[in-house]
Amino acid sequence: MLVIFLLLWELVPRTGLLPELFLPSLSSTLDVLYQDWRIYAAALWVTLYEVALAMLIACAGGIAAGAVVGGIARLRQLLLPVFSSLYAVPIVILYPVFTAWFGVGSESKVAFAGIYAFFPVMLSTAAGIRTIDPQFLLAARSMGATLTQQVTRVIIPASLPTVFAGLRLGGALAIIGVVVAEMLTAAAGIGYLVTLNRTILDSPRVFAALLMILILSVAYYLLARAVESRFIVWQSAGKELPSTV
Amino acid sequence: MAGVIHAIEVEGLSHVYGGAVSALENISFSVAAGRFTVIVGPSGCGKTSLLMMLAGLRAQSQGTILCQGRPIPGPDPQRVGVIFQEASLYPWLTAVENIEFPLSLRGTPKNERRKRAGAMLELVGLAGFGERYPHELSGGMKQRVSIARGLVQDPPVLLMDEPFAALDEQTRMTMGHELLRIWSTTSKTVVFITHSLTEAVYLADEVLVMSARPGRIIDRIAVPLPRPRSYDMMATDVFGRLRDRIWQQIRKTP
Amino acid sequence: MKIVAVRLALLALVLAAWELLPRHGIVNPLLLPPLSDVLRALGDQLLRPQVHEAIAVTAAEVMLAFAIAVPLGAALGVLIAESEYLGQVFKPLLFYVFSIPKSIFLPMFILVFGISFAQKVAYASFTTTFVVLMSAATAVESVKQDYLLVARSYGATRTQVLLRVYVPSMMPLLLEALRISMIFNFTGVMIAEMYASRTGIGHLIAGWGENFQMTQLFAGVIVLAAVAILFNEAVRWMETRVSAWRA
């Protein structure tokens, strides 16, 4: 499938099916990327830095908040509906507030993307915490586990799938948030390159930046999946065997 | 009591939920060491609550519980092993790691743990399956691992809360038979809860029949069938009459 | 009732902080104007025809994009759920699609449509279609096979199965899908308006931000948030009414 896609990318503009302005050919895009690689590398570095920080905020905060709010019944009843209502608001409308407060540099991107990713991670973790079988703790108690042991030997391992899902979600959303922010108002970063080159109608350079973003997102997704399956071997789908007693 | 310390002694046990709902009413019974006692009763009669109290996982409103002559203020896995209806094996641990779990909580060194867990694995007939994860085991196998886990600290008393309820009938029968085999190689005291009248008569030395809420002991039925039990005993008159007697008792209660 | 009371108390606390912290200079009032100033600006803005126009434009974009995306996404979603082959081909792709920031396609839409009403609608429906697609596919797959089997064994025609089994069974999920899709739809329109537009609320907000007109900016944010939340709660309410039969 990928090969077909790449072929189309090359041929459709070349044959004039679509003007080069709309869709520059793959070769011209790669060519520009190669020529200006320093610029793109520097931009990528900025973007990655912002994504990392945003992800840190969103995941650390979101997972912790989600675990607490999801785990404590009172808090959950009180706050969860509030948070999921807030989720309905397009966070992007807050971005101008962040640029007014923090300026056009990385801080506003990190703040925005951090908050953008925070809510979904929190909601997802809160939901995931509730899937932990309450019998696990009962069994542990009956085996004489102390409170510390209950947390470290049962709750933490049982929460790992939820935590990993949160990390994967947080990273993906952090990337999306940073890219959107950089496209809107920025002075550096890959998203900024997209906007910059769009306004001067330099399509190959725009698409070179788009290509980098595409690769970044897909790479992150694959990485997250790979890490998850390494650590959570025991989650691999196994249908229950018919009883041979 | 003439100097005989029973494995379990319950005296005047009552329990009230939330100050209003009476769950258990004046329960008294004792179980001699090495005996297999089955508690049978309708849904909601409080048998699980009773078991929780025998295990030290819940405190009773009134009355005393003595296990080997001493009270049980909290869970004491070296005295009382508990096996629940849901095997509740930890999915991130292999079968043998699950069995070792109680030992690792106490800081038992690794070789010792492995040895004892391995022995338990063999006892329940799962030698060779130690490295499997729970999701790779069938329902019956999971319960066997759960039983092995309950036995690994060699507690003199074993409490089992409808451990075979989630299994299909044929597996249940086989597991019941297996349980009796395992029990016969040890000298443990077992208190076993079930819904199934057949299972009760097949497994027990004595059956305690509970009424619907508030739960009371309405009958104690000794099962005179010889051991080792066999399937064809289920077809005998004696078996049928015992079953019937239990059923009549349960039916009577509102 | 107690829960509602506690929530209202929390809200009151937040609002009070918003008013008092800037007023007393604990927080820089240039960065975070006191709530009363914001509300006053809100009142002023709502009277201006320019703002009315912007609201009208944004509302039109949101509704049109939704009207396009929902049937389109639903149709595609049902197709993917019903066809084994299509499902196998496209389902893995969908995961990738969701990882990609769809805002990167904005420049393409601008290239094709220019900066216009059409561009914003096209972009928003594009992003929303994927969400609707995913939800629709999930909803179709959620209908238990058992229900279908029972209906067919009683001789139900395909239409009857569709109307009497699929639809009621999927209704809660469909409403949920609508709710989530609208959230994405709204977001899509906002991004498009803030990125490159000459009209619409998003554009106004971006402008206020650039010019450090913080009171107007916050006023705009409050209005948008209120609208978004109202719509959300309305659909949620409908969901609970339709979901009474679910566990």
In this complex, which of A90, A94, A97 lies closest to C228 when CB atoms are compared?
A90
> What's the CA gap between B58 and B44, in Å, rounded?
17
- Counting CB pairs under 8 A, whether chains B and C reach 3 or more, is no
8 Å CB contact between A47 and A191:
yes
Going residue by residue through chain A, which has 245 residues, state the pLDDT in tens, using 9 for 90 and above: 678 778 877 877 777 777 777 778 888 888 888 888 889 899 999 999 999 999 999 999 999 988 888 888 888 888 888 888 888 898 999 999 999 889 888 999 999 999 999 999 998 888 888 888 888 988 999 898 888 888 888 888 888 888 888 898 899 999 999 999 999 988 899 999 988 888 888 888 888 898 899 899 989 988 988 888 887 766 543 333 444 44
Note the pLDDT of residue A235.
56
Most A CBs within 10 Å, among C100, C211, C214, C229, to test the A interface: C100
> What's the CA gap between C97 and B203, in Å, rounded?
58
Burial of C191 (0-12, 13-18, 19+ CB in 10 A): buried
Highest mean pLDDT among A69-73, A92-96, C28-32, C48-52: A92-96
From first CA to last CA, the distance across chain B in angstroms is 35
8 Å CB contact between B67 and B80:
yes
Tell me the C-alpha to C-alpha distance, in Å, between residue A73 and each of A77, A119, A140, A144. 6, 19, 21, 25
Q: Give the closest residue to A90 by CA, choosing from C61, C179, C187.
A: C187
Query: Does the model's ipTM exceed the 0.90 cut?
Result: no
Note the pLDDT of residue C129.
93
Note the pLDDT of residue B254.
57
Whether A147 and chain C come into contact, CB under 8 Å, resolves to: no
Contacts of B237 (CB under 8 A, 6+ apart): none
Chains contacting B (3+ CB pairs below 8 angstroms) = A
- Cis bond upstream, residue B214 (ω within 30): yes
CB contact under 8 A, A90 and C214: no
- Counting CB pairs under 8 A, whether chains B and A reach 3 or more, is yes
Whether B90 and chain A come into contact, CB under 8 Å, resolves to: yes
Contacts of A77 in chain C (CB under 8 A): 3
| Phi, psi torsion values for B15, nearest 5 degrees | -145, 135
Q: Which residues of chain B have pLDDT under 50?
A: 1
A201 to chain C: closest CA residue: C111
Q: Give the closest residue to B15 by CA, choosing from B53, B72, B62.
A: B62
| Residue B83: count of CB within 10 angstroms of its CB | 25
**Dihedral, A192, A196, A198, A201 alpha carbons, nearest 10:** -160
Whether C106 and chain A come into contact, CB under 8 Å, resolves to: yes
Note the pLDDT of residue A240.
38
Residues in a beta bridge with B27 = B13
**Rounded mean pLDDT of chain C?**
85
Note the pLDDT of residue B169.
86
Residues in a beta bridge with A181 = none
Whether A58 and chain C come into contact, CB under 8 Å, resolves to: no
Whether C103 and chain A come into contact, CB under 8 Å, resolves to: yes
Note the pLDDT of residue A110.
95
* Overall pTM > 0.95: no
Note the pLDDT of residue C95.
78
> pLDDT, tens digit, for every residue of C74-107?
888 888 887 778 878 787 788 788 888 888 888 8
Tokens for A120, please give them: 């979904």
Contacts of A198 in chain C (CB under 8 A): 107, 110-111
8 Å CB contact between C158 and C101:
no
Most A CBs within 10 Å, among C55, C104, C112, to test the A interface: C104
